[in-house]
Amino acid sequence: GQQLNQSPQSMFIQEGEDVSMNCTSSSIFNTWLWYKQDPGEGPVLLIALYKAGELTSNGRLTAQFGITRKDSFLNISASIPSDVGIYFCAGRKETSGSRLTFGEGTQLTVNP
């Protein structure tokens, strides 16, 4: 079952605003991933993090692997209408092989 707490569940923001969302767990993960799902499509990988403390950027997106290995956050700067979608965090534990655990998603709405 789900072991990642992702928040917020939904966000309504104005174009140009910055966005922050995070995932926390009581378990330790050795990989954190962030995906975006456009309406009617499958999730697409945005950022992958493999080391505690790692901070990685992909354009306007920045994600960090928490020092405790139990959390991760994603920031989106200067949001635009095409940022609309569902953002999922996912983590991999050392003991779970290739299997990922997913958060429940953050639904982002950007008003022009």
Partner 1 sequence: DVKVTQSSRYLVKRTGEKVFLECVQDMDHENMFWYRQDPGLGLRLIYFSYDVKMKEKGDIPEGYSVSREKKERFSLILESASTNQTSMYLCASSLMNYGYTFGSGTRLTVV
**Taken in order 41, 10, 8, 65, is the CA torsion positive or negative?**
positive
Residue 105 touching partner 1 (CB under 8 A): yes
Instruction: Give which of 102, 4, 93, 87 is closest to 38, Cα–Cα.
Output: 87
Give Cβ neighbours of residue 52 (< 8 Å, ≥ 6 apart).
65, 66, 67, 68, 69
43 is a site residue for partner 1 (CB under 8 A): yes
Cβ contacts of residue 87 below 8 Å, gap of 6+?
21, 34, 35, 36, 37, 46, 74, 105, 106, 108
Contact segment (CB under 8 A) with partner 1 among 13-21, 56-64, 68-76, 93-101 equals 93-101
Q: Does 39 bind partner 1 (CB under 8 A)?
A: no
Q: Which of 11, 92, 108, 110 binds partner 1 (CB under 8 A)?
A: 92
Cβ at position 107, least distance to partner 1 in Å: 10
Considering only the stretches 20-28, 57-65, 68-76, 84-92, report the one whose residues sit in contact with partner 1 under the rule CB under 8 A: 84-92
40 or 59, CB closer to partner 1?
Answer: 40
Assess 52 for contact with partner 1 (CB under 8 A). Answer: no
